[in-house]
Amino acid sequence: MTKSESACSATISQFRPTLTGPIHSKYSLVCTGCFATYYDDRLKCNSDSALLRAKYSSRQLMLKDVPGMGKFHDWLPVNEIITSDSGPITYKSTELAAELGLNNLYISFNGYWPERGAFIKTCSFKELEAFPTIQKLKNTGRSLVLASAGNTARAFAHVAGMTGVKVYIVVPESGMSRMWLPEEPTDFIHLIQMGKNCDYTDSIHLAERLSSLPGMLAEGGARNVARRDGMGTVMLDAAFYMKQMPDHYFQAIGSGTGGIAAWEASLRLLEDGRFGSRLPRLHLAQNLPFAPMYHAWEAGRREILKDIDMPDPKKLIHEMYADILSNREPPYSIGGGVYDALCSTGGMMYGISNSEAKAAQQLFERYEGIDIFPPAGVAVASLIEAVNSQKIDAEKHILLNITGGGVKRLEMDYSPHRIEPAAYAENAHVPLEEIITKKVLADGKPRAKGR
C-alpha cells in the first residue's frame, strides 16, 4: 500500500493527460492505481494497469424525475438522460426476512416483476450495464463487440436493437438457450455461436480479435466505467430507499464487476454525506466447484493461482449449477478490482455448492413469490450461510442483490423470440473472414474516428 502510494505521487506530478477524445465536464476518469486524471473516454491508464474510475462533478446525487435507471443520471457517464422504465428496484422483505430471523432485509430485484415496479425485460442486472454503454456509442457510427455466456448478450442485444446500434455478440454454445428477447430481434444484432468445447473465456478471446477490426469497439468488460456505474445504481437505489447505505451487501459473482460497482457506488455515497459514514461490507459468493476468487481470497492471496484455484477449469465449469458465474480471468488482482473492494470494505467470500444454491433458490421463490436465476440462488445461499454462522446481526441493514429473475413472470406477458446465430466459430482462433462476411465488414466501417 505505502509502496504504491509513493509510486503514485511521483506519477501524478509527472503526468500530463493527453486530450484525444470528447471533453466533457460531467466527469473525469481517475486511475485507482496512480490517481492520474483523464478527461477523455478511455479504458486504460497510460502508466499502469489499474482500473479507471469516474469522478463526477456532482458530489451529491440529485434524482431526476424519470422512471428507471435514468434517475441516477448525475452519476452515470452519459450526457443524455436514459429514458427507459428499466432499472433496479428495492423493497423490504417480510417473508424471507422472517424465515431467516432478519429485521432489516432489503432486496434489490433486477428482473421482470411488474407488481413491484420491476421492468427489466431481459431479466438480469446486465441491462443496467447495457443502457449507459450503448448510450455512449449511439452517435459514433461504431459497432459494439462483446462476449457473453447469456445474460449480457440478451441485455446488449435488447438495448442495441432499441437504440439502433450494431452489436456483435460472441456466445459459447452453452449460452445459446439463453438467447431470446422479449421482442422480435432486429438486424442490428449479430450473434456468433462458438463450438462445443468453448467456454465463456474462449468467447472473450474471439471477441477481442473481432474488436480489432475497423469500426468495431470492445465494450471493455470491467474496465468500462459505463458498465460499472450502471450496475452501481443497485446500491444507489437501495440507499435512497433505505435512507442509508446497507451494512452488508450480498451478491453472487463470476467476474465480480458488480461487486466492484457496489463498492464504488458506496464510496460516492460516502462522499455525498447523506447516507452514513461506513462502507457496506461486501459478501461475494461463487458457485463451487469453480470458485477461483473464493479460493484465492480464502488463501489470503491477491493473485489467482491457476493450478491451485482453478485446476481443469472446463471440467469444473461443466459441473456448476450457476454456470454463468464462470469467468477464468476475473478482475480480481487488478488495482481497484475485487481484491481491493473486499479489503476496503472488510468483505468476505463464500463458496456455495450446487445443492445449497438450488435449495436457496427454491426457498426464495417460495417466500418472496417470484422466480429467480441460479446465480441469485447462490447469493441467497451465501446470506443463509452468513446467518447460520452468525456473521451478521439480525438488526443490521442487509441488501441482497437478486441479480436476475422474473423470466417465468415475463412469459405470462410476452412470448420470447429466439435470436438466431449469424455465424459459427469452432474456436477462438478461426480466421475472422469465416465468421464476418465482407458485407458485414463494409457495414461496420467507421463514419467518424476516435471515441
What is the distance between the alpha carbons of residues 384 and 387, in angstroms, rounded to a whole number? 5
When the beta carbons of 27 and 200 are compared against ligand PLP, the nearer one is 200
Report the nearest approach of ligand PLP to the CB of residue 228 (Å): 9
Report the nearest approach of ligand PLP to the CB of residue 243 (Å): 25
What is the distance between the alpha carbons of residues 41 and 21, in angstroms, rounded to a whole number? 6
Segment contacting Zn ion (CB under 5 A): 32-40, 161-169, 247-255, 338-346?
Answer: 32-40
Tell me which H or E stretch contains 109.
strand 105-109
- The distance of Cα 339 from the centroid of its chain, to the nearest Å, equals 16
Binding mask 272-311 for ligand PLP (x = CB under 6 A): ----------------------------------------
Size of the site for Zn ion (CB under 5 A): 7
Binding ligand PLP (rule: CB under 6 A), the pick from 126, 158, 166, 397 is 126
Enter the DSSP assignment of 418. Answer: E
Classify burial at 111, counting beta carbons within 10 Å of its beta carbon; exposed 0-12, middle 13-18, buried 19 or more: buried
Q: Classify 138 in phi/psi space as left (phi over 0), alpha (psi -120 to 50) or beta.
A: alpha
Binding ligand PLP (rule: CB under 6 A), the pick from 77, 87, 132, 259 is 259
Q: Considering only CA atoms, which of 326, 297, 368, 382 is closest in space to residue 203?
A: 326
Three-state DSSP class for 106?
strand
Q: Is 85 in the site for Zn ion (CB under 5 A)?
A: no
Q: Is 351 in the site for ligand PLP (CB under 6 A)?
A: no
Q: Is 337 in the site for Zn ion (CB under 5 A)?
A: no
Binding ligand PLP (rule: CB under 6 A), the pick from 230, 292, 331, 375 is 375
When the beta carbons of 255 and 361 are compared against ligand PLP, the nearer one is 255
Classify burial at 450, counting beta carbons within 10 Å of its beta carbon; exposed 0-12, middle 13-18, buried 19 or more: exposed
Contacts to ligand PLP from residues 390-409, by CB under 6 A: 403-404
Contacts to Zn ion from residues 42-61, by CB under 5 A: 45, 47-48
Q: Is 373 in the site for ligand PLP (CB under 6 A)?
A: yes
CB-based contact 24:79 (threshold 8 Å) = yes
**Residue 33 near which of Zn ion, ligand PLP, none (CB within 5-8 Å, type-dependent):** Zn ion
**Residue 31 near which of ligand PLP, Zn ion, none (CB within 5-8 Å, type-dependent):** Zn ion
Q: Is 208 in the site for Zn ion (CB under 5 A)?
A: no
- Strands in 195-294 per DSSP E: 216-218, 248-252, 281-287
CB-based contact 283:319 (threshold 8 Å) = no
Where do contacts with ligand PLP occur on this chain (CB under 6 A)?
124, 126, 151, 252-259, 324-325, 373, 375, 403-404
